[in-house]
Chains A and B, each alone.
Chain A
Amino acid sequence: MNPTVFVVDDDAAMRDALAQLLETADLQVEAHADGPAFLAAFEANRPGCLLLDMAMPGMNGFEVQAALNARGLSIPIIFLTGHGDIPMAVQAVQAGAVDFLEKPIQGAALLERVQRALALDQEWRLTQSRTQAIRQRYASLTSRERECMALAVSGHTSKEIARNLGISPRTVEVHRTHVMHKMGAANMAELVSMAACCIP
């Protein structure tokens, strides 16, 4: 799926001008006049980035950002503002924005930032799909296996796990072998890194 650059600005001319500028760089653009319209159209599986105007009537840029975060939707956000200041920029970046640009924007700079944001999005998506696979595998473990895995990744030996769970070390060894196999981990280190994104 080709990435889409979402443009949200209440000013029609600005919207149109941004679309035109981005299209000259052969980018796919989808423009929305306000936050709700964009939120309605956006889906988690749509790769891309968001050019978000800060000052809008009804729902401002921060609120759109907050709504996305609340829904667990992650898309790189580049904020655009008519007259920004440092506190505003700090707040935006703290809330996860990747960039904060002041209008008027230099074309080359904007395109460069957009490309970077798209690359970031791709990276995120890659990470996310990997995490999802790990979680699916984690879901296939039995409850005993999950207990064993949790203790193992926190550095306990088989004997300690056996004593902890009140089962024989031999049984623990069997569970560990199953866990390694089901999770698709080649060694202990790999399992530890997987545990970071699946054990709550």
Chain B
Amino acid sequence: MRVDVGGIRIKRAGHFVLVRLSVQPMPGKLADERLLLVVFQDEPKADQAAAAGDEQARTDEQLVRQLEYELKTSREDLQSTIEELESSNEELKASNEEVMSMNEELQSTNEELETSREELQSLNEELSTVNSQLRDKVDELEDSNDDMTNLLSSVDNATLFLGVDRTIQRFTPSATRLFNLIATDVGRPIDHITARFEDPELKRDIERVLQDLTPCEREVSRDDEQWFLRRITPYRTGDNRISGVVLSLTDISVLKRTELELRDLTAHLEQRMSENGAQLQHERNFIDAILNTVGALILVIDTEERVVRFNTACNTMTGYDFAEFQGSPNWQNLIPADEQDGVRRVNNRLRSGEDHIQHENHWIQRDGTPRLISWCNSVLRDEAGQVQYIIGTGTDITEQRRAEYRARETLEEASRLQRLQTANELATLLAHELNQPLAAIATYAEAGLQLLGQTPLAQDKLTRNLEQISQQSLRAGEAIRHMRAFVGRGRLDPVPMDLNAVARSTRTMMSPKARTRGIDIVLDLDGMLPPVMGVDVHIEQVLLNLLRNAIDAIRDAGMTSGSITVTTRRVENMAQVSVIDSGPGIDAAMADKVFEPFSSRKEYGLGVGLRISRSLIEAHGGRLWVEPHSPGGIFHFVLPFAP
């Protein structure tokens, strides 16, 4: 490659000549030798002449350029001078503003000064007022001082005011009777004054009061005849500062004598009491032994619900000691949290006048096992008739209840199985009765199908065939009707029976189930009700069904307690039984549907139970219906009286 540059000016012998410079690489002798050939070649002449002509022009140009440069420099100087001037102008302006603001500040300071002066004047005025008040106070003080002097001299109590250093500040005239004091003793320490009674503790007591700031009382005597109550109280100034003690002595000789007499009397009484006490103790031990031997739980609490008595049976049952509850209301922790309110209500009723309340609640043993306890609560009153203690006598009925529950379960299972068996029998009977017409229908249908496949179509045969099918369907319906009549007629053998007895026995059967759901079953029976015609197990089944439905309805409605009332009444020439519950009830819209099998309404357990119940009652020549009512479900049934 080659680089070639023309028109380069170089100085040669005092002239500038234009040359062309060219540089190109050259191969060297050795392989790794690299050389460059540099050639300076003069430009042709014409160019050289032009270069000379240029020389003159270039000198002028240089001059001009210099002048221009100078001019430019001057101009820049001027510019910077102007800028400096402008900036100093601005600074001046700023200074001016500062001065102005200073002026304003000065002015405001002036105003403040003026205000201060006014304030000072008002202060002055206030001071003169305070001064006059002070003068009044001083006058008052003088008056009260006089009052006090008079007061002190008028009271009979010997009173001395001592300073912190135990010097006498002031004393009442009567003090001179007990201390050897004269007026000039003011300012002398109390130690220097002799007392006319025995009191070796005086000095120490004064010290103690000054230290603890608590008053100190002591009985001192003069020759064991005259007694004084010596009282030392700290002397507090108005600003609650201790500036000494007040020592006062009150004559209590009469009191003292009475007290001594009383003490004699008491001693005498105590002696007599101790004689009676032995017997009392004996009786107490006897009662204790009884309370601790009986199997029943006995808990006695006072009106504040603190335990007074917790017998051995309680201890054995709960695993807690009497000592753990004595005098404390914490026995309530034995009761599960959700039953505590109930127990509290019972106790409130007892406190407010009821004498006996039966109640059931759980107690939790130390190991956490709950036990169901049936309580019989009563109260113990003092002479004034005020309730003093609440006595609870409890029996652990956990096992009993469990047995009841199991018995009920067994009973229900048996009843269910019985129903199931009856249903089974009915189903078999019905199946047999229905199978004949159904088999005939099927065969006719098959024959019909064969006839349809034939050509020509035997229309008359087909018609007869279809007629037969229709007839057989009617026959099947007849079988069902016949079956129903059979159920009504063949299974019931009514005899005269007592509805009240049925009501009582069903209540007994359902009570455990009801009780676990907080439901009371109440009987309201007409004792004069004549016997009715019926099969008692069927009527019982109906009543059980109604009670079970009522219990389920109350539970399903989310109620935690409720009641079911069973009444028997004579209504016209029928015996009426009504079951009234505190559940949600059945409104008019639902009343028609509850007897449909598998009714959508769940609360009253309406599968087929009500339907069967109604059938049973109607088979007795009675009627069962629901009274639309909400809230509170009401079911009635009536039965004819025995002839």
**CB proximity to B under 8 Å, residues A1-39:** 11, 13-14, 16-18, 20-21, 24-25
Q: How far is the CB of A178 from chain B (nearest CB, A)?
A: 58
Give every chain A residue within 8 A of B454 (Cβ-Cβ): 24
A110 to B451, CA, bound (A): 15
Q: Which of B215-273 contact A (CB under 8 A)?
A: none
Q: A20-B447, A25-B450 are in contact. Are A14 and B439 (CB under 8 A)?
A: yes
| Residue among B435, B443, B454, B472 with the highest chain A CB neighbour number at 10 A | B443
CB of B609, distance to nearest CB on chain A (Å) = 30
Chain A positions near chain B (C-beta within 8 angstroms): 11, 13-14, 16-18, 20-21, 24-25, 82-83, 103-108, 110
- Is B468 on the interface with A (CB-CB < 8 A)? yes
- For residue A61, give the distance in angstroms from its CB to the closest CB of chain B: 15
Interface flags for B426-459 (1: CB within 8 Å of A; 0: not) read 0000011001111111111011011100100000
Whether B443 pairs with A14 at a CB distance below 8 angstroms is yes
- B471 CB-CB contact with A under 8 Å: yes
Say whether, besides A13-B468, A20-B444, A104 and B449 are in contact (CB < 8 Å).
no
A11, B465: Cα distance in complex, Å:
16
- Most B C-beta atoms less than 10 A away, residue of A18, A24, A108, A110: A24
> A16: which B residues are within 8 A, CB to CB?
440, 468
Give the residues in chain A near B475, CB-CB below 8 Å. 13
| CB proximity of B430 to chain A, nearest CB, Å | 13
- Checking B431, B440, B449 against A14 with a beta-carbon cut-off of 8 angstroms, the contacting residue is B440
Q: List 20 A-B contacts (CB under 8 A).
A: A11-B436, A13-B475, A14-B439, A14-B440, A17-B444, A17-B468, A20-B443, A20-B461, A21-B444, A25-B450, A82-B432, A82-B435, A82-B439, A103-B443, A104-B439, A104-B441, A104-B443, A106-B446, A107-B443, A107-B446
Interface 0/1 of B600-640, CB less than 8 Å to A: 00000000000000000000000000000000000000000
- Chain B residue at minimal CB-CB distance from A55: B432
Overall SS of chain B's interface: helix
Q: What is the CB-to-nearest-CB distance from B300 to chain A, in angstroms, rounded to a whole number?
A: 73
Give chain B residues whose Cβ lies under 8 Å from the Cβ of A83. Answer: 431-432, 435
Q: Which residues of chain B come closer than 8 Å to A107, judged between CB atoms?
A: 443, 446-447, 449-450
Total interface residues on B, CB under 8 Å, equals 25
Contact call B440/A17, Cβ cutoff below 8 A: yes
Please, which residue of chain A has its CB at the minimum distance from the CB of B428? Answer: A83
Q: Report the bound CA distance from A121 to B261 in whole Å.
A: 140
Cα distance A122–B461 in the bound complex, in angstroms? 31
Looking across the interface, which residue of chain A has its beta carbon closest to that of B454?
A24
- Docked pose: A25 CA to B431 CA in angstroms: 31
Question: Which chain B residue has the least Cβ–Cβ distance from A80?
Answer: B439
Whether the pair A105, B436 counts as a contact (CB closer than 8 A) is: no
Q: Which residues of A contact B451 (CB under 8 A)?
A: 24
B440 to chain A: closest residue by CB: A13
B437 surroundings in chain A (CB, below 8 A):
13
From 322 to 374 in chain B, residues with beta carbon under 8 angstroms from any chain A beta carbon are none
Known: A82-B432, A83-B431. 13 other contacts (CB 8 A): A13-B468, A13-B471, A16-B468, A17-B440, A17-B447, A17-B468, A20-B464, A82-B436, A103-B443, A104-B439, A104-B442, A105-B439, A107-B449
Set of chain A residues within 8 Å of B471, measured between Cβ atoms: 13
CB 8 Å contact bits of B466-501 with A (1 = contact, 0 = none) = 001001100100000000000000000000000000
A100 to B596, CA, bound (A): 42
Other-chain residue from A11, A14, A21, A103 in contact with B450 (beta carbon distance below 8 A):
A21
Nearest CB of B to A106, in Å: 7
Given the known A-B contacts A24-B450, A24-B454, A83-B431, are A17 and B436 also in contact in the complex, defined by CB atoms under 8 Å? no
